Amino acid sequence: MTELTRLDEPSRPAAPHPASVAEGQRAMMSGFPTGVAVLTTADQDGTPRGMTISSVCSVTLDPPVLLVCLRIGSPTLRTVLDTGRFAVNLLHGAAQPVAELFASGAPDRFDRVCWEHDTSDPCASGPHLFHDAHAIADCRVREQHRSGDHLVVFGSVLRVTPFPGRQPLVYGKREYRVWPLGPDRCQGR
């Protein structure tokens, strides 16, 4: 793992931006549909942690690396940094309630979903939401970089578990949808 600015240190103040720029960015990004995932991990005692994330990106295939962005101060981020491991559960189309549950921060969220964590498997990086995912990637923290109030975490992918036949859940314009959305509307043009 690379060295990181301490999380308890305040970030360097950024040049102030007008509120209209932040609102414009929020509106712009709401029109950029993205897949929905729940990042999961477990602390040294096996207590599960997790949160809904939409900032997931495949960085490289050689070696396989994913990028996720987590809010500074999140208990999930603290556990990811302490253990150096996490799982990215890409949700399937029927898992909208799970996405909303893990976005809510409800303290009992793991009591309300089915999950498994095989601690005997060296590739198992955290609790798996097998029933709610269309694919799961187990990752080990490779490096991290602070940007504002978030930490960009790069994870080396140790293993991918796909579930063929499950359609991905996507989110955009504050709505959930199942991908693919339907017949290609550009046909016949």
DSSP output for 112-169: GS--B--TTSTT--S-B-TTTEEEEEEEEEEEEEEETTEEEEEEEEEEEEE-TTPPBE
pLDDT class of 19 with cuts at 50, 70, 90:
confident
Contact call for residues 133 and 36 (beta carbons, < 8 A):
no
First to last CA, the chain: 51
pLDDT class of 5 with cuts at 50, 70, 90:
very low
Instruction: Please give the structure tokens belonging to residue 16.
Output: 């102030």
Averaged pLDDT for residues 92-114: 95
Percent of the chain with pLDDT strictly greater than 70: 84
In the DSSP assignment, the letter for residue 82 is H
Full-model pTM: 0.83
pLDDT class of 174 with cuts at 50, 70, 90:
confident
pLDDT higher than threshold 80 for residue 26: no
Contact call for residues 41 and 87 (beta carbons, < 8 A):
yes
